[in-house]
Structure 1
Amino acid sequence: MEQLLSQIRSCTHCKEHLPLGSRPIVAAHPESKIAIIGQAPGTKVHQTGIPWDDPSGRQLRNWLGVSDGQFYDDRLFALVPMGFCYPGKGKSGDLPPRPECAPQWHAPLMDQMPNLKLTILIGQYAQKHYLGDGMKNNLTETVKNYRELLPHYFVLPHPSPRNRFWLSKNPWFEEEVLPELRKRVLSSLTP
């Protein structure tokens, strides 16, 4: 695992497409219990090198019902983005994750985490990659039908503050989905 993580962290495969250069961000351990598959680091995470070290990460930890200490314990959580480096700014937020990362690195990384009990897929890029035809017409429908993907996958919208409108338009998410998410996270972390 350490060798693989070292290879990922030193990857420069798509550096010519990255406005801030390559700085792959990943956290994983052979004992990880939950894998969180996100999109790609933002500028703050690129600067600090700490996954989910931003407002989206704080919201995610709140959704999961875990402390910072739990979240950043790689024996509990593997933090694996679809694109390991900051992809750049687009018209309405960051660009999509670079398409090279997941096909190159995800399968070897997941293969080295035999103790995973739950994989949380955040946002449409992770859901399209992992669910393929199992994804519904859109992210809202996929999240609404999250039970169909249990016990292996749990699907979530991105916890970005920009998604406040989506959250206010879909109150069922906080009422129904988050309690079940916290229950699944707790049971996955309990020995």
Structure 2
Amino acid sequence: MQNLLSQIKNCTVCKAHLPLGPRPIITGTKNSKIVLVSQAPGRKAHDNNRAWDDASGRKLREWLGVTETQFYDPNNFAVLPIRFCYPGKGKTGDLPPRQECAPLWHAPVWVQFKKVELVLLKGKYAQDQYLGANAKKNLTENVANYTDFLPRYFPLPHPSPVNHFWRGKNPWFEDVVVGELQDIVDGIL
């Protein structure tokens, strides 16, 4: 597993398309219990070479009901983005993930995992990649119908502060779903 992660961290396949150059971010061990699949590292993650070490990460840890120590233990949580490098800034946020990473690296990584009990799919890109034809018509319906995807997958909105509009329009998520998520995560850890 560590050899594969080293290969991924040295990947330069889409270097020409990265405004800040490649800096793949991925963590995990063969014993990881929960896999965090999301769009791509943000600018701060790129700069610090650490995923979820920002306001989004704090909100995510709050939703999961875990400490920072629990969260950054790769035997608890693996980080497997759809795109491993920061894609650059777009008009309304970061650019979408390019198509190279997931097809090139996800299958070999999944073969290495031996103890995964839950896959958290954060955001529409992750949900489209993993739910495929079983996905509902949009992110809100995926999240509202999360029980349809259990016990393997748990779809979530992105925990970014800019996503507060979605959370404001969908208070049921933090009122009901987050508690269910915390119970599942607590049972796994």
Name the TM-score class by shorter chain: over 0.9
Give the Cα separation in 2 of the matches to 1:53 and 1:84. 15
1:41 aligns with 2:41: yes
Once the two structures are superposed, the pairs formed by residues 40-79 of structure 1 within 5 Å of their partners are 40-79=40-79
1:165 aligns with 2:165: yes
Give the Cα separation in 1 of the matches to 2:54 and 2:18. 20
How far apart are 1:144 and its partner, in Å? 0.5
Q: Deviations over 1:96-136 (max 9, x none)?
A: 11211011111111111110000000000000000001111
Q: Which residue of 1 aligns with 2:81?
A: 81
Taking only aligned residues, the RMSD between alpha carbons, in angstroms, comes to: 0.6
Q: Deviations over 1:56-102 (max 9, x none)?
A: 11110111000000000001100111100000100000001121101
The 3-state SS of whatever aligns with 2:178 is helix
Q: Which residue of 2 aligns with 1:146?
A: 146
Structure 2: segments with no counterpart, 5+ residues: none
Q: Could you tell me which amino acid in structure 1 is paired with residue 176 of structure 2?
A: E
**Runs of 4+ more than 3 Å apart:** none
The 3-state SS of whatever aligns with 1:81 is coil
Structure 1: segments with no counterpart, 5+ residues: none
Q: Which residue of 2 aligns with 1:17?
A: 17
Q: Deviations over 1:144-191 (max 9, x none)?
A: 0000000000000000001111101001101111001001111111xx
Calculate the TM-score normalised by the size of structure 2.
Answer: 0.99
Q: Could you tell me which amino acid in structure 1 is paired with residue 109 of structure 2?
A: L
The 3-state SS of whatever aligns with 1:120 is strand
The 3-state SS of whatever aligns with 2:78 is strand
Give the percent of matched residue pairs that are identical in Structure 1 and Structure 2: 58
